[in-house]
Amino acid sequence: MLTRLFPLHQVNNRALPSRLLACKLVLSTTLALYQLALLVLWVLDSETRTRPSVASAAINFVVGFEAPFLSYFEQVRSIKSSSVLTVFLLLSILLDLPQTRTLYLQHDKNAVAALLSAIIGLKLVLLLLEVQNKRSYLRNTYKILGREPTSGILNRSLFGI
């Protein structure tokens, strides 16, 4: 994600601030805080803690910490939704589902499972916000662009736009 931030940092703003941006920033910051809470829960759970679970939670926290920054720059300085965030959110949701199911089946992991469920819910809402078309938020010079250049990876893949 960091490699995507540097090119976006050098580009002028192409979209106007919006409620969509505010929602995405609040939710992505909340996601980062939930990821931190999950990391703390895994570290404090000395009975069933494993090195991969702590390492995975730490990596997810680092990525979650970067998400609000990338979301901001992609929303304001790009004409289409973020391909990096869309793919990350989609894949991480799909990979978190089996882990959550397994944690619910282990009855002593309810706090971790509940927090992971909340994280999946946040990721799903963020994914839905991320795939929104930004044409109405673009500056006037970019509003004249067609549907294809302003459509994100999911819209182009699924709907052929």
Chain segment 126-151, per-residue pLDDT in tens: 999 988 877 666 666 655 566 665 55
Nearest partner of 148 among 79, 78, 83, 85, judged by Cα: 79
Mean pLDDT of 103-111: 84
Average pLDDT, the chain: 82
Mean pLDDT of 98-110: 86
Q: What are phi and psi of 144, to 5 degrees?
A: -80, -10
Nearest partner of 133 among 96, 86, 100, judged by Cα: 86
Mean pLDDT of 18-46: 92
Those residues whose C-beta lies under 8 Å from the C-beta of residue 41, and which sit 6 or more positions away, are 111, 112, 115
Take residue 60 and report the two structure tokens written for it: 């997810």
Instruction: Tell me 48's DSSP state.
Output: T
Alpha-carbon distances of 99 from 15, 86, 106, 113, rounded to whole Å: 38, 21, 11, 8
- Domain extents for the chain? 18-159
Distance of CA 8 to the CA centre of its chain: 17
Give the whole-angstrom CA distance, residue 55 versus residue 34.
16
pLDDT of residue 74: 82
Name the band, by pLDDT with cuts 50, 70 and 90, for residue 16.
confident
Alpha-carbon distances of 56 from 64, 90, 157, rounded to whole Å: 12, 17, 29
The residue behind tokens 């302003």 is: 150
